[in-house]
């Protein structure tokens, strides 16, 4: 148990804008003295808004923020012992480096001698000795970033907030700065609250990660926790590469997903809908006869340390990392050790499947065309004269590397006897009565399991078609 | 080659059209002629008259004082208004922007006349208090200050104001130390524009000025209709002086800008 | 405890109040006066009076004619000059451009005085050719306002567009007609609006040149001189209506043009 005191606490924080949009909903967090904590999530998840509320730029519509146990919820930013490193640095263009760094100290009316000494020390900390008289626009991005950090830490804040500080730097610079920031955190001993959408950055740097999505906290934990024990499909998908499958418990320590029955270590009641997560490095490719499921290798990419091998089994796709190569077209078996299968209760039973992009850049599933257009799904993309889809930078979109995932809720799918009418066909492999409706699992001809809610009773093993109205589908594109 | 000559000819003709009257007048201002074409002898009499006739000196100084004070007021109001509107909610901001646009597109005659009606006729303010005149000129100038400050606010990185607050500056200090320096070029050019607008104005002044006070414009308009030759030719001198002053000002500004550009490039 | 928070919004209040007092209020007063008579009763006599008096109607059309011709003359003089300057490779072109702008900074009444002296020397009595002299005087006064926006737009044109047009087989004339001219339209529009409106209302130019006041703006002046606030207000209101129409027209054109621009 961590005995250190909470430096900052967020209690039931909600931020709703005038147009009714809630950027953050009922957010609770305790941060310990000296921690390096990271808010991680896709853009628009509310992480920057939360940071701005801690800094004092935004005031929560509900809830309370405590600093060292005292409420600071509506204290203006200039009264808080908290400093921020801004996304695009926000250096004052009309001042030289010295005046930029000295700005905070001058506000506190410190004697000139002290200011000079502190600025010098701050510049040493960020390796920019002798830069006092330079103008901000003569510095490179990395140097401006260092000045922004020096300008914040020179005030000896209790908490340093960093809002995607490395976002504007190139990859090499970013890696360097990650290490330096980590080192600086150790040296200064103050609390860092860091915002990023880069999961790798979060995993390398943080003591604790808060994964956020749609204004809500999804999970909080150490990088290891978050990586190994994601609490839901969103976290599993966002952190690292993972294979995520919908499935159902079929017996004690037995789960059925991805067209096979796997032994697992999580003791969950039979018949429960689950989400199974398997990290690519835990997928073992074996000769077909030893595999729990079998499939065909569809792609092999050399990644330096290992090969990334994609295996297609029915309509399921399993990504494996292996030191041994394989050949496209090979038939292989797939095995996963029980303790490498991470089973989560499916808090929702959203059905997720992959749509194909055909050579005309149309989406199809099970050989049927979908109405959704790729150009509407990828922001900034457009169709060129040859019928190819170009992305925002004008580059042709690679049909092999782009994955379009479709999700649809169980209550939005209808079953029909006219099986050919359905987008996909299958048989009912499981049913549970849920009080006011039945929850069915349909095992499709494409070896996938769909969860469907229906108020009428159907029989086990019934052949059905699944009607999925396209307006109920949500599309996500991964490139 | 012929092409080039044609092109130069066009430019020269347009320039001649713009400058010939002023230049000819300048030459004649150094003679004792009372009409153009009747060339006589060199004389600086016009300049002596210009700077020694109390009526003329008072008129020139009055115009300058009016321009400076109206421009200063307009700059303060317009700048504050721009900052306020920029940070206001959309409805408020667009209301201010729309009203601001009215004097810009409106004919000066209408602006001057409507202010005269409101202040002098309806509210009974005496023109001798200079209130209608100053109010009129500020109304004429402030919208242009507003318009030259707004783009600077838009160009400014919005997070630097927050950065200043974050570093412990009060909102007022953040505004003065960080925002104002960023928009200063806009404020300065707004002020310069305000001064020229006020100096050049005739219509607002005629409807709002005290009967005993004259700006250069109202004075010159009356003088050209009158037959007093010494005053008329003294105005030739005034136009020469103004022409030289403006040219000098423009040259100095350009040289300074060039210098600054060179400095920046060398860094 | 809730403290009064300083907000940047409140900085706008003085200016908002100022605008209400000196921009909005005068317009309402104008409206009130235009539709009342000396006893403060509602009347449309001022309006019907304007449109039934051949003298005032004639003035409206005459001013309109002067404004159209002046704008045309300015455009004809300004466009070639601005175009030549903006596309020239002369090093001194910014200096040359300054020469076109300097007159804007000199008091217009002094410049008109100079013009009057020259014209009088050339023609004798200026009142003999009132229309011609009015157009010359106004063009002389407003020309820089037409040159500046056109010059700015043309010099901001992407040179690559012209090269692309030439590359695609357009001759020099065609490249100008198909690329430069349409793209410089925003400059032309803003120049036209800066010349047309003053040309309709700036009666001092005529007044100074040959003591005539036969133009829209001067009607206000004459009512003003006669202390007839009601008639003056109506003229001002009618002018305002013309200005509104004109502004709507030009901003509509500008919008259409920028929309066309994004298509390119």
Fold: same for A242-345 and A351-478: yes
CB contact under 8 A, B118 and C25: yes
The CATH number of the structural domain formed by B61-226 is 1.10.3720.10
Q: Which pLDDT band holds residue A49 (cuts at 50, 70, 90)?
A: very high
Residue B46's closest CA among B33, B59, B63? B33
Q: Is B196 on the interface with A (CB under 8 A)?
A: no
Pick the CATH number of A6-228 from 3.40.50.720, 3.40.50.800, 3.40.50.300, 3.40.1260.10: 3.40.50.300
Which residues of C fall within a CB distance of 8 Å from B96?
12, 15-16, 19
DSSP-derived letter for residue A473 is -
Looking at per-residue confidence, does B227 or A413 come out higher? A413
H-type alpha helices, chain C: 13-19, 25-34, 45-52, 54-87, 93-105, 108-123, 130-156, 159-167, 172-175, 181-183, 185-201, 204-210, 216-225, 229-263
CB atoms within 10 A of CB A250: 17
The reported pTM is 0.77
- Give the per-residue pLDDT at B265: 66
Closest chain B residue by Cα to residue C31: B114
- Give the per-residue pLDDT at C259: 40
- For chain C positions 198-227, those within 8 Å of chain B (CB to CB) are 198, 200-204, 207-208, 211, 217, 220-221, 224
Residues of chain B with pLDDT under 70: 1, 39, 226-227, 264-267
Which residues of B fall within a CB distance of 8 Å from A83?
166-167
CA distance A440 to chain B (A): 51
Residues 6+ apart with CB under 8 A from B153: B82, B83, B86, B179, B183, B186
Which residues of C fall within a CB distance of 8 Å from B160?
none
Contact present, C191 and C209 (Cβ < 8 Å): no
Contact present, C8 and B139 (Cβ < 8 Å): no
Count CA within 13 A, CB hemisphere, residue A211: 24
Closest to B110 (Cβ–Cβ): which among C12, C229, C240?
A: C240
Residue B134's closest CA among B80, B213, B188? B213
Euclidean distance between CA atoms A110 and A104, whole angstroms: 9
Which residues of B fall within a CB distance of 8 Å from C7?
87, 171
The CA–CA distances, whole Å, from A466 to A274, A372, A381, A461, C40 equal: 21, 18, 31, 14, 79
Among C4, C117, C137, C228, most B C-beta atoms within 10 A, so best to mutate, is C117
Here the tokens at position B123 are: 């509210």
Query: What is the arithmetic mean of pLDDT over A40-48?
Result: 89
- Give the per-residue pLDDT at A2: 54
Give me the percent of chain A exceeding a pLDDT of 90: 39
The CA–CA distances, whole Å, from A463 to A349, A428, A460 equal: 21, 7, 9
What topology is assigned to A242-345 in CATH? OB fold (Dihydrolipoamide Acetyltransferase, E2P) (2.40.50)
Pairing of strands A316-322, A474-478: unpaired
Q: Is B267 on the interface with A (CB under 8 A)?
A: yes
Q: Which pLDDT band holds residue A162 (cuts at 50, 70, 90)?
A: very high
Contact present, A81 and A152 (Cβ < 8 Å): no
CB contact under 8 A, B167 and A92: no
Q: Is A81 on the interface with B (CB under 8 A)?
A: no
CB contact under 8 A, B108 and C201: yes
Q: Is B60 on the interface with C (CB under 8 A)?
A: no
- Give the per-residue pLDDT at C260: 37
CA distance B23 to chain C (A): 9
Contact present, A255 and A261 (Cβ < 8 Å): yes
Could you tell me the residue ranges of all domains in chain A? 6-228, 242-345, 351-478
Residue A32: exposed, middle, or buried by beta-carbon count in 10 A (0-12, 13-18, 19+)?
Answer: middle
Here the tokens at position B3 are: 């092409």
Could you tell me the residue ranges of all domains in chain B? 61-226
- Give the per-residue pLDDT at A287: 92
Here the tokens at position B159 are: 């997070």
- Give the per-residue pLDDT at A314: 79
Residues forming a β-bridge with A390: A382, A396
Among B63, B114, B173, most C C-beta atoms within 10 A, so best to mutate, is B114
Euclidean distance between CA atoms B159 and B85, whole angstroms: 18
Residues of chain C with pLDDT under 50: 1-4, 258-264
Q: Does domain A351-478 fall into CATH 1.20.1260.120?
A: no
Residue length, chain C? 264
CB contact under 8 A, B20 and C113: no
Give me the percent of chain A exceeding a pLDDT of 70: 97
Which residues of B fall within a CB distance of 8 Å from A90?
157, 159-160, 162-163
Which residues of B fall within a CB distance of 8 Å from C204?
202-203, 217, 221
Q: What is the pLDDT of residues A421-437, one digit of tens each?
A: 888 899 988 777 666 67
Q: C239-258 in b/e burial notation, b at 16+ Cβ within 10 A?
A: bbebbeebbeebeebeeeee
Angle (CA) A321-A327-A332 rounded to 5° is 70
Closest to A92 (Cβ–Cβ): which among B160, B170, B267?
A: B160
Q: What is the pLDDT of residues C113-150, one digit of tens each?
A: 889 888 888 887 777 788 888 899 999 999 999 999 99
Query: What is the arithmetic mean of pLDDT over A183-197?
Result: 93
CB contact under 8 A, C121 and B37: yes
CA distance C137 to chain B (A): 11
For chain C, domains (ranges, CATH) are 14-263 (1.10.3720.10)
Q: What is the pLDDT of residues B127-180, one digit of tens each?
A: 889 999 999 999 999 999 999 999 999 999 889 999 999 999 998 899 999 999
Q: Which pLDDT band holds residue A375 (cuts at 50, 70, 90)?
A: confident
Closest chain B residue by Cα to residue A82: B166
């Amino acid at each position: 148990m961590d005995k250190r005191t909470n430096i900052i606490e967020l209690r039931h924080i909600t931020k709703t804008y005038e147009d009714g949009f809630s950027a953050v909903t009922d957010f609770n967090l305790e941060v310990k003295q000296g921690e390096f904590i990271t808010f991680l999530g896709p853009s628009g998840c509310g992480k920057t808004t939360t940071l701005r509320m801690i800094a004092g730029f935004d005031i929560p519509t509900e809830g309370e923020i405590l600093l060292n146990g005292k409420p600071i919820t509506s204290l203006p930013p200039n009264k808080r012992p908290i400093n921020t490193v801004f996304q695009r640095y926000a250096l004052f263009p009309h001042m030289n480096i010295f005046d930029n760094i000295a700005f905070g100290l001058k506000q506190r009316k410190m004697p000139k001698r002290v200011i000079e000494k502190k600025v010098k020390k701050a510049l040493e900390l960020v390796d920019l000795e002798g830069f006092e008289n330079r103008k901000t626009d003569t510095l490179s991005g990395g140097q401006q970033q260092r000045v922004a950090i020096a300008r914040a830490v020179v005030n000896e804040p209790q908490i340093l907030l960093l809002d995607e500080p490395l976002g504007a730097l190139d990859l090499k610079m970013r890696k360097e700065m990650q290490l330096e920031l980590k080192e600086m955190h150790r040296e200064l001993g103050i609390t860092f609250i860091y915002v990023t959408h880069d999961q790798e950055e979060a995993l390398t740097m943080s003591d604790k990660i808060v994964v956020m999505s749609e204004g809500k906290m999804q999970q909080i934990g150490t990088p290891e926790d978050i990586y190994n024990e994601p609490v839901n499909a969103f976290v599993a998908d966002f952190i690292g590469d993972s294979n995520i499958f919908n499935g159902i418990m079929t017996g004690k320590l037995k789960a059925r997903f991805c067209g096979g029955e796997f032994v697992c270590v999580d003791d969950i009641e039979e018949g429960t809908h689950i989400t199974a997560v398997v990290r690519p490095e835990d997928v073992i490719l074996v000769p077909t006869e030893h595999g729990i499921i079998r499939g065909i290798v569809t792609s092999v990419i050399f990644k330096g340390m290992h090969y990334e091998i994609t295996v297609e089994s029915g309509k399921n796709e399993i990504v494996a990392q292996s030191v041994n190569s394989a050949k496209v077209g090979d038939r292989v078996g797939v095995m996963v050790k029980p303790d490498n299968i991470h089973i989560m209760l499916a808090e929702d039973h959203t059905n997720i499947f992959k749509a194909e992009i055909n050579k005309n850049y149309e989406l199809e599933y099970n050989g049927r065309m979908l109405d959704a257009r790729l150009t509407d799904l990828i922001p900034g993309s457009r169709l060129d004269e040859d019928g190819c889809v170009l992305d925002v930078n004008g580059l042709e979109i690679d049909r092999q590397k782009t994955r379009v995932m479709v999700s649809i809720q169980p209550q939005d799918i209808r079953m029909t006897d006219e099986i050919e009418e359905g987008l996909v066909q299958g048989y009912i492999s499981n049913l549970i009565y849920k009080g006011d409706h039945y929850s069915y699992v349909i095992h499709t001809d494409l070896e996938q399991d769909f969860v469907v809610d229906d108020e009428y009773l159907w029989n086990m093993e019934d052949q059905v078609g699944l009607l999925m109205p396209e307006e109920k589908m949500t599309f996500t594109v991964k490139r | 080659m012929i092409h080039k000559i044609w092109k130069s000819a066009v430019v020269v003709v347009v320039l001649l059209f713009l400058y010939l009257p002023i230049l000819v007048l300048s030459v004649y201002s150094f003679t004792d002629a009372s009409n153009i074409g009747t060339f006589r002898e060199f004389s600086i009499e016009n300049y002596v008259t210009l700077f020694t006739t109390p009526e003329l000196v008072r008129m020139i100084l009055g115009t300058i004082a009016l321009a400076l004070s109206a421009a200063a007021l307009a700059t303060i109001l317009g700048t504050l208004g721009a900052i306020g509107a920029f940070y206001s909610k959309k409805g408020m901001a667009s209301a201010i922007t729309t009203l601001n646009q009215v004097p810009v597109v409106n004919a000066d005659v209408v602006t001057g006349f409507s202010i005269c009606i409101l202040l002098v006729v309806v509210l009974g303010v005496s023109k001798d208090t200079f209130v209608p005149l100053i109010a009129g000129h500020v109304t004429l100038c402030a919208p242009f200050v507003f318009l030259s400050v707004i783009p600077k606010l838009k160009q400014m990185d919005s997070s630097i104001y927050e950065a200043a607050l974050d570093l412990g500056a009060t909102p007022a200090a953040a505004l003065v130390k960080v925002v104002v320096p960023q928009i200063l070029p806009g404020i300065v050019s707004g002020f310069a524009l305000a001064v020229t607008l006020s100096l050049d104005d005739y219509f607002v002044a005629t409807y709002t000025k005290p009967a005993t006070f004259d700006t250069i414009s109202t004075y010159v308009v009356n003088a050209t209709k009158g037959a007093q030759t010494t005053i008329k030719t003294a105005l030739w001198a005034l136009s020469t002086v103004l022409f030289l002053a403006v040219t000098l000002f423009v040259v100095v500004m350009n040289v300074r800008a060039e210098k600054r550009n060179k400095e920046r490039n060398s860094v | 405890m809730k403290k009064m928070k300083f907000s940047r919004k409140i900085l706008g209040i003085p200016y908002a109040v100022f605008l209400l007092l000196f921009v909005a209020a005068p317009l309402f007063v104008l409206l009130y006066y235009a539709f009342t008579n000396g006893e403060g009763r509602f009347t449309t006599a001022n309006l019907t009076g304007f449109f039934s008096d051949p003298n005032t109607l004639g003035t409206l059309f005459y001013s309109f004619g002067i404004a159209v011709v002046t704008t045309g003359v300015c455009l004809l003089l300004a466009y070639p000059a601005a175009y030549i300057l903006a596309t020239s490779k002369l090093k001194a072109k910014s200096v040359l451009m300054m020469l076109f702008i300097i007159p804007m900074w000199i008091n217009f009444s002094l410049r008109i005085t100079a013009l009057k002296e020259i014209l009088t020397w050339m023609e004798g009595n200026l009142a003999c050719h009132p229309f011609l002299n009015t157009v010359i005087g106004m063009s002389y006064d407003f020309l820089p306002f037409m040159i500046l926006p056109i010059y700015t737009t043309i010099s901001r044109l992407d040179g690559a567009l012209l090269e692309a047009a030439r590359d695609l087989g357009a001759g020099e004339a065609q490249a100008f007609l198909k690329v430069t001219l349409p793209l410089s339209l925003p400059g032309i529009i803003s120049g036209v609006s800066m010349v047309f409106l003053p040309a309709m209302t700036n009666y001092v130019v005529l007044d100074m040149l040959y003591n005539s006041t036969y133009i829209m703006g001067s009607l206000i002046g004459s009512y003003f001189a006669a202390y007839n606030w009601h008639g003056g207000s109506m003229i001002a209101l009618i002018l305002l209506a013309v200005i509104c129409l004109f502004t709507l027209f030009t901003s509509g054109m500008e919008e259409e043009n920028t929309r066309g621009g994004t298509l390119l």
